[in-house]
Amino acid sequence: MEKPYVVGIDIGGQTAKIGLVDARGNVLTQTAIVSNDTDDYKVFIKNLSDAVKKLVNKEYSMKQVRGIGVGAPNANFYKGTIEGAVNLTFGGQQVIPFAEEMSKLIGLPVKLTNDANAAALGEMTYGVARGMKDFIMITLGTGVGSGIIVNGNLLYGYDANAGELGHVTMVRQNGRLCGCGKTGCLEAYCSATGVARTAREMLETSDRKSILRNIPAENITSKDVFDAAQQGDDLAKEIFEFTGNMLGAALADFVAFSSPEAIVLFGGLTRSGDFIMKPVVESLNKNVMPRWRNKIKVLFSQLKESDAAILGASALAWEV
Amino acid sequence: MEKPYVVGIDIGGQTAKIGLVDARGNVLTQTAIVSNDTDDYKVFIKNLSDAVKKLVNKEYSMKQVRGIGVGAPNANFYKGTIEGAVNLTFGGQQVIPFAEEMSKLIGLPVKLTNDANAAALGEMTYGVARGMKDFIMITLGTGVGSGIIVNGNLLYGYDANAGELGHVTMVRQNGRLCGCGKTGCLEAYCSATGVARTAREMLETSDRKSILRNIPAENITSKDVFDAAQQGDDLAKEIFEFTGNMLGAALADFVAFSSPEAIVLFGGLTRSGDFIMKPVVESLNKNVMPRWRNKIKVLFSQLKESDAAILGASALAWEV
């Protein structure tokens, strides 16, 4: 019998990445197409389906493919739709019946979810959370996303939008404005952009020495802060402590909610390693109820970052 | 065929209430035994089992009973144990194999969970959440408890202790000391005792007129605050606003987690009606992500408070 595979697709604002994945989480072959050359979703879905077939048929066969998993912004898992995705040229305010349309074209089941949920599934299927039934995935990138696994399943909630943990309120007075329209959200502090914002604030409000002052304030990135911390810069280290303290306090509240076995951190900020991990773990254990103290594992994702989006989306297809 | 029934048992520090319940949530007959007259759990379980049989056999038959559901402090649903229940004379630090022992004596399946989880099941089985698959139950009594229903099931988490929403941190600086050992917990503010504490604080830190000043500060209860608010007392109304604001802000974070269809409020504080409901709803909608604004139902429990504990526990037995 031929080996079964799945296709994982990660749709972003500029490109859509496509990969053929085996049951062990190896990306056997991959490609990408541009995703911003049309404002007609039917055209995009046709292009995408053609690209999938072309990729698979090159060395493998569509008969081996069990299903297609798609990670996309504003994806609704229950309905298989993309709704109000203003960051996609073919998105806008409309409701796109994505799974249905693509399934028709490609003759396979198509499942959709958002990126952070896909990352959680990927981690459970191929990564550090293999065998776990209760964990929380936190993605620390431009924003802060989350995918919550409860009893082996993604928590979708009533409207399929559960797991917006980047938008719990961490600062209740004079909090930073968040992209979502609220103030004081976790995302406004603990995303990569939040770290850069903290750096600018700390530089502006003190005269302390820091090699970060060699960079124009508006250009500072979380990567710069990491580089500075590695060179022993005290202010840079303090920025990570501030960030980790807040993230750990947030995680303590998440633990009170779903009592996970582990929390898995993923995304750009995790490259800062111990600079972020140490304060996160300390703050989690300081802020959590005594019964959970030192009992919750905090882990970095083990998925290769370049493959993670495809792997996460592909994990959805095994569940078809 | 004879009608099927279940038995619901609510174990408290002083008494254990026992009720026979039908599928519509009618408590057909009930009784209670003292629970603090022995430090030997085997004696207590024997007494309890005898009391169940006596109650049922008076007018019905044990053959009609499908199972026994028990709500108890420190109950572990997965293991059927009561662990470290220091408030029970037969509890202490030990692990009591409650379900196993009682099941042996009574010849029926016995299921255990904590009070707030039982309340959530009761609401889903017989109450205002009938037909709902995603909601959060918040119990506002001496403490603040919670039971979280996700996709039609209680959220237990890795260690069966999920749903400790009374212990998320609402005040991160100089927060009130909570019974759990942390500071700033929701429970320290939005429980009945929290409301009384707020009253004492507000009276002490101002000279404002209030009929609450007619009561010795240390004796003020949340009921007194409600009575004063009903008489038009401005300070009393403000106490409820403060409480409702904080509870609503907490609910907004819970919504970001599990995206429930509704939040059901239960327990003593809900008798304050609109004094608490209005600020809760306003604050929830102010603090929640725009996508959920004015979309989450906030409801008072519809279970009779005198029956609720038995009903909640009994709901567990239908799931056997």
Residue numbers in A near B259 (CB within 8 A): 156-164
pLDDT of residue A319: 79
| 3-class secondary structure, B204 | helix
pLDDT tens-digit readout, A183-202? 999 999 999 999 999 999 99
CB contact under 8 A, B261 and A161: no
| Distance (Å, whole) CA B317 – CA B111 | 6
Strand B5-11 versus strand B15-21 pairing type? antiparallel
CA distance B169 to chain A (A): 7
Query: How many C-beta atoms surround the C-beta of residue B204 within 10 A?
Result: 8
**Which residues does residue A140 pair with via DSSP β-bridges, in sequence order?**
A144
- Sequence-distant (6+) residues with CB within 8 A of A296 are A251, A255, A260, A261, A262, A263, A284, A288
- Crossing angle of the two packed helices B115-126 and B305-318, in degrees rounded to 10: 80
Please give the sequence-ordered ranges of beta strands (E in DSSP) within chain B, or none if there are none: 5-11, 15-21, 27-34, 65-71, 75-76, 81-83, 95-96, 110-113, 135-140, 144-150, 153-154, 262-266, 297-300
Residue percentage of chain A with pLDDT more than 70: 99
| Distance (Å, whole) CA B299 – CA B297 | 6
pLDDT of residue B82: 96
C-alpha distances out from residue A295 to A149, A206, A248, A260, A275, Å: 18, 38, 14, 10, 21
pLDDT of residue B199: 98
pLDDT of residue A89: 94
CB contact under 8 A, B172 and A249: yes
Q: Is A261 on the interface with B (CB under 8 A)?
A: yes
pLDDT of residue A2: 80
Residue numbers in A near B161 (CB within 8 A): 259, 291-292
CB contact under 8 A, B161 and A253: no
Q: Is B144 on the interface with A (CB under 8 A)?
A: no
pLDDT tens-digit readout, A28-60? 999 999 999 999 999 999 999 999 999 999 999
Q: Is B86 on the interface with A (CB under 8 A)?
A: no
pLDDT of residue A212: 97
pLDDT of residue B320: 66
| Distance (Å, whole) CA A162 – CA B259 | 5
Residues of chain B with pLDDT under 70: 1, 320
Query: Residue A305: is its pLDDT beyond 90?
Result: no
Show the tokens assigned to B228.
Answer: 């004063």
- Computed over every residue of chain A, the mean pLDDT equals 95
Q: Is A183 on the interface with B (CB under 8 A)?
A: no
pLDDT bracket for residue A307 (50, 70, 90): confident
Looking at per-residue pLDDT, the higher value among A306 and B23 belongs to: B23
pLDDT of residue A111: 97
pLDDT of residue A320: 66
Q: Is A211 on the interface with B (CB under 8 A)?
A: no
Q: Give this prediction's pTM.
A: 0.94
Region A293-312: mean pLDDT is 92
pLDDT of residue A1: 63
